[in-house]
Structure 1
Amino acid sequence: MSLLDTLDPARGLFVGGRWTTGSAGRFDVDDPADGRVIATVANGGPADATAAVDAADAAAATWAATPPRERSQVLHRAYELMMRDRDDLAALIVAENGKSRADALSEVAYAAEFLRWYGEEAVRVEGRYGVAPAGGSRTVVTYRPVGVAALVTPWNFPAAMATRKVGPALAAGCTVVFKPAAETPLTAFAITRLLTEAGLPAGVVNVVPTTDAAGVVTTWLEDPRVRKISFTGSTRVGKLLLRQAADRVVNASMELGGNAPFVVTADADLDAAVRGAMVAKFRGCGQVCVAANRFYVHADVVDEFVARFGKEVEALRVGPSSDAANAIGPLISPGAVEKVTSLVDDALARGARIAARAAVPAGTRGYFVAPTVLADVPADADVVREEIFGPVAPIVTWRDPRQMLTAVNASEAGLAAYVFAGDLQYAMRLGESIEAGMVGINRGLVSDPSAPFGGVKQSGLGREGSHEGLHEFTEPQTLSLDWPELP
């Protein structure tokens, strides 16, 4: 029996420790590999959103007062349970998200690590003590839970985006109201069930799946008991939520869109650059906010890089992720296919050429786009300026490093970047010159639970992961103590 068979999606609201039906009927979740409906899910509405806050608020004081060691133990047990069920969780991600089996297994391990990391961080919410410069007083600074936290996650990492937010919130002593993406709610249900099995008290985490995201999240932002919004998604939606959060001055963390440059210098190790490009571009079928979006390759090596990279891309096996041999699965929806296809068509109309393309087997159903390498791409093409969110790699040629950096930094996005260079000092200097929150130096990955994750400019506010991610869910409080001289 699969994990999906053990879930009850029609009772997918989890409020106050109970699984219930939604007030807005139900909605379907489909498999993007073939479009078939795999589950019918309880659909929450504003009334359910309020009930979730009622439960979180009722549990808040007790959870905040729970000793950090006990909160830590819950997270550690949840980590162990996720690893126990990693194969079933991966199969669930494949079914509702469509990513390859290998990518899904990697995501489960990555997601579980956030629970382990914040299980360790829960007991390290430190404060500080100091002497006032003028004398006569002492200052004690403590960090308190911010309060009820509203968490909103996207569909592209249904497990990791959940644990990257839930982990630090619980470690800090916050209770949670959580809206998973309507495209991928099932993984959220499974993780919630594991948290409950790990001993999480009723009301600490409450889950509201919905097709009315605006209604549910607005209800939370207008509720005075909600003191935190943590959102991962598009820049457009993030701006709307920030405007709403401003009305009540709600503490906000935003992880928004990206447009990651991938820079290859003349002295780069091209074997390493191609390996890094395959990971940075095609992990999750390119539907990753830190995915390499635009490739800037030095003119001296561009032909060789395109040839090597293209050979690897043409070898990618495309098809339903239910077949573990397939490396590239479908995009999430027909709309995603339409967008990626239009970006490729615009680039070709502007003079770009298809340098390499993988084959999509004839008769394949679902939302598939062939992995593609575009060469001779004009720097102002839409495929360079916009976030692609698909398996297309546009390559721009450069010679002058200052002109290249000007082009790289012209984007309003600043989430991730990648630099491949033989001279490590030069690579570091390039990395420091790029306006991005994270830069991979000679590697195609930038994410790790122990490292701060987040961007600059319109890619977001705040950081997830690391110790910084814990403090996103705390508020510092100053205690000023009178300190008279001894008699």
Structure 2
Amino acid sequence: MTKANLSFDITTIPTALFIGGKWLPGSTGNQIDVIDPSTGDVIAAIADASIEDGLDAVRIAHEAGPAWAATPPRRRSEILRRCFDLMNERKEMLAELISLENGKALADARGEVAYAAEFFRWFSEEAVRLNGDISIAPGGANRILVEHQPIGVAVLVTPWNFPAAMATRKIAPALAAGCTVVLKPATETPLTAYALAALYKDAGVPDGVVNVITTSRAGATISAMLHDDRVRKLSFTGSTEVGRKLLREAADTVISCSMELGGNAPFIVFDDADIDAAVEGAMIAKMRNGGEACTAANRFYVQEGVIDAFSTRLTQRMASLKVGTGYLETMQCGPLINAEAVHRIHGLVQDAVQRGAQILTGGEPLDRPGFYYPPTVLSKVPEDALITRKEIFGPVAPITSFKTEDEVIRLANDSEYGLISYVYTQDLSKGLRVSGKLESGMVGLNRGLVSDPAAPFGGTKQSGLGREGAHHGILEFCETKYVAVSW
């Protein structure tokens, strides 16, 4: 497949703001270029929203709120299920579009579409099971009646690395709970968000319930929305640095916040691990989306007895990956999102090498159009290397040895982040013991992939607040109301 024979015409993808069910040009009159990371070419230009456009989207969402909240849960469920069906009907177009604007390999993009669609199926089922409870007050004076009500207008801010899944993981539970939303996707990958907005309309989502805006003034526009009294929820996925700023903004009006922030995932391999399984898991945990994922394995800690075998096999697998244009069927690793990412990652590799690390494969940017960095493996990475402290967000695997269980737990927990950890051992008792001691919201025990719409996704420490997915995800968009009643 080449750009010339994609299964869809790129000019058919909406590029205007989606507010109140209408496509609007944006009051700034400006446009933002969308770049194909595989080539560096401009593939589209999207509308650039003003602060006033953002506030107008909030107003429209607020006006649509009462009717949507009053819509019977079964009806909301059926609409969400229709979104799931349409995403599956359009899965190839969506996958190609994601690959085109994001750069990820087509196989990864197809996986993302399937994962993203599943949030609509899962929360279509949760929409009719948002149960409260009734109990008798301990003193016997009254009943305690508890119910969950929609929190109100939600501002959703999503990143570029999973342009479909990060949006549906928020939109589906919000709509299931009876909330209306304003989505601000990343300007690097906005076309997927607009294609999905059209899909929601086709699925029967009422006008004004989902609104989508893109803007070159993200900070000012989001700040204005967060300071609008009609907004009661912020759900953000992105870097910890930006998350801290948004929490400060949200504090002014005491907005409920769900934050899915950065990660620095340790990948621990014990001497008794199945090495073939560990390498396979490492390839998934490290190279899903080319390493541009908050859940990506960031630090590899391998026990001394198996470090040579693991390093050799991982290097062989990484070196064999076909690197190139993401939307070509035969490619296994696409480009990074932009030139800045290439420069940043190469800086981390150079710092590690200067501190004593050795390059086993890769290690130099590829000299070709687009934004490419090869799959890279580093060995003997010292504890003080920047690459062990920073989120890599790219196809680089730094390996360090360890001797004891206590030592690796100390190393793994020595981070401000706590999103996810990976553990490989054939001793289940050890695996569960170590999992319990790791300071992270999720653990992959002998698994390189843990994300599941039916599971609570989220981290500890500075990796975030709240959970997405599972039953927890819908409660993030609810207020719990207690009524004291006697009868």
Taking structure 1 as the reference length, the TM-score comes to 0.97
CA distance in 1, matches of 2:381, 2:218: 37
SS at match of 2:252: helix
Q: In the alignment, which residue of structure 2 is the partner of 1:184?
A: 189
Q: In the alignment, which residue of structure 2 is the partner of 1:390?
A: 394
2:364/2:373 contact within 8 Å kept: no
Question: Can you give the 5+ residue segments of structure 1 that lack an aligned partner in the other structure?
Answer: none
**Counterparts in 2 of 1:358 and 1:386: CA distance versus 1, 3 Å:** closer
2:346/2:363 contact within 8 Å kept: no
2:263/2:417 contact within 8 Å kept: yes
Matched, 1:5 2:6: no
Q: In the alignment, which residue of structure 2 is the partner of 1:356?
A: 361
Q: In the alignment, which residue of structure 2 is the partner of 1:288?
A: 293
Runs of 4+ deviating beyond 4 Å: 358-361
Q: In the alignment, which residue of structure 1 is the partner of 2:330?
A: 325
Q: In the alignment, which residue of structure 2 is the partner of 1:376?
A: 380
CA deviation string 1:377-428 (max 9, x = no partner): 1012111111000100000100021121111101000001100001011111
Q: In the alignment, which residue of structure 2 is the partner of 1:39?
A: 44
**Counterparts in 2 of 1:282 and 1:147: CA distance versus 1, 3 Å:** same
Matched, 1:470 2:474: yes
1:264/1:296 contact within 8 Å kept: yes
SS at match of 2:81: helix
1:452/1:463 contact within 8 Å kept: yes
Q: In the alignment, which residue of structure 1 is the partner of 2:465?
A: 461
Q: In the alignment, which residue of structure 2 is the partner of 1:311?
A: 316
CA distance in 2, matches of 1:294, 1:182: 30
CA distance in 2, matches of 1:155, 1:62: 32
CA distance in 1, matches of 2:452, 2:273: 24
Q: In the alignment, which residue of structure 1 is the partner of 2:199?
A: 194
**Counterparts in 2 of 1:373 and 1:339: CA distance versus 1, 3 Å:** same
CA deviation string 1:103-135 (max 9, x = no partner): 000000000000110011100100000000001
* Structure 2 counterparts to residues 437-456 of structure 1, below 5 A: 437-456=441-460
Matched, 1:174 2:179: yes
Return the offset for 1:3: 5.1
1:310/1:357 contact within 8 Å kept: no
RMSD of Structure 2 on Structure 1 (CA): 1.1
* Structure 2 counterparts to residues 41-440 of structure 1, below 5 A: 41-357=46-362, 364-440=368-444
CA distance in 2, matches of 1:113, 1:263: 30
CA distance in 2, matches of 1:84, 1:92: 14
Q: In the alignment, which residue of structure 1 is the partner of 2:27?
A: 23
CA distance in 2, matches of 1:358, 1:421: 30
Q: In the alignment, which residue of structure 1 is the partner of 2:4?
A: none
Return the offset for 1:5: 2.6
1:94/1:101 contact within 8 Å kept: yes
1:317/1:358 contact within 8 Å kept: no
CA distance in 2, matches of 1:437, 1:309: 26
Matched residues, number: 480
CA deviation string 1:239-295 (max 9, x = no partner): 000011111100000000000000000000000000000000011110000000000
SS at match of 2:99: helix
CA distance in 1, matches of 2:478, 2:141: 29
Q: Which amino acid aligns with 2:11?
A: D
2:346/2:365 contact within 8 Å kept: no
Q: Which amino acid aligns with 2:358?
A: R
Q: Report % sequence identity.
A: 53
Q: Which amino acid aligns with 1:205?
A: V
CA distance in 2, matches of 1:90, 1:284: 13
**Counterparts in 2 of 1:62 and 1:3: CA distance versus 1, 3 Å:** farther
**Counterparts in 2 of 1:410 and 1:359: CA distance versus 1, 3 Å:** closer
Q: Which amino acid aligns with 1:472?
A: E
Return the offset for 1:306: 0.4
CA distance in 2, matches of 1:69, 1:216: 35
Q: Which amino acid aligns with 1:287?
A: E
Q: Of 476, 480, 485, which residue of structure 2 is paired with 1:481?
A: 485
CA distance in 2, matches of 1:8, 1:156: 20
SS at match of 1:133: coil
SS at match of 1:443: coil
Q: In the alignment, which residue of structure 1 is the partner of 2:3?
A: none
Query: Mean alpha-carbon deviation: is it higher for 191-200 or for 363-372?
Result: 363-372
